[in-house]
Amino acid sequence: MDRPMPSPARLPMPLYALVCMLVLLGLGAVWHGLGRPVVLADAAGPTHKLQCASYTPFDKDQSPFDQPFQLRPMRMDADLALLAERFECVRTYSMTGLQAIPALARKHGLKVMLGAWVNANPVDTAREVRLLIEAANANPDVVAAVIVGNEALLRKEITGSALAGLIAQVKRAVSVPVTYADVWEFWLQHPQIAPAVDFLTIHLLPYWEDQPRDIGDALRHVARIHQRFVERFAPKPIFIGETGWPSEGRQRETALPSRVNEARFVRGFVAQAEAGGWRYNLIEAFDQPWKRASEGAVGGYWGLYDADRQDKGVLEGPVSNLALWPHWWLASGVLMLATLLIAGRPRGLGAALGLPLLAAFGAGSLGLWGELTRTHARFAGEWAWAVSLALLSAVLMVHAALALGGRRGWRAALFAWLQGMGRWLVLAAGFAAAVSMLEMVFEPRYRSLPTAALALPALVLSLRPLAAPPRECALLAAVVGLGILPQLYQEGLHSVQAWGWAGVSLAMAVALLRCRRRGLERSATLPGSDAPAHQA
Residue-wise pLDDT for 245-273, tens only, equals 999 999 999 999 999 999 999 999 999 99
The whole-model pTM stands at 0.90
Query: Distance between CA atoms of 479 and 500, rounded to whole angstroms?
Result: 18
For 50-300, give the CATH class: alpha beta
In this predicted structure, what is the pLDDT of residue 126?
96
CB-CB contact of 269 with 226 (8 Å):
no
pLDDT at 436 over 90: yes
Instruction: Report which of residues 368 and 407 the model is more confident about.
Output: 368
Domain range summary for the chain, segments of one domain joined by +: 13-35+325-525, 50-300
CB-CB contact of 225 with 203 (8 Å):
no
Query: CB-based contacts of 468: which residues, under 8 Å, 6+ apart?
Result: 422, 423, 426, 427, 430, 512, 515, 516, 518, 519, 534
**By C-alpha distance, which of 350, 323, 196, 352 is closest to 260?**
323
344-394 pLDDT per residue, tens: 988 888 888 899 999 999 999 999 999 999 988 888 898 999 999 999 999
308-325 pLDDT per residue, tens: 999 999 999 999 999 999
Banded model confidence at residue 335, pLDDT cuts 50, 70, 90: very high
pLDDT at 4 over 80: no
The one-letter amino acid code at 179 reads: T
The enclosing H or E element of 7 equals none
Query: Distance between CA atoms of 207 and 197, rounded to whole angstroms?
Result: 27
Torsion angle, alpha carbons of 267, 269, 274, 279, to 10:
-130
- In terms of phi and psi (left: phi > 0; alpha: psi -120 to 50; beta: otherwise), the region of 51 is alpha
Phi, psi of 38 (to 5 degrees): -110, 135
Query: Distance between CA atoms of 359 and 522, rounded to whole angstroms?
Result: 29
Query: Distance between CA atoms of 529 and 536, rounded to whole angstroms?
Result: 7
The residues that bridge with 243 in the sheet, in sequence order, are 282
162-213 pLDDT per residue, tens: 999 999 999 999 999 999 999 999 999 999 999 999 999 999 999 999 999 9
In this predicted structure, what is the pLDDT of residue 48?
86
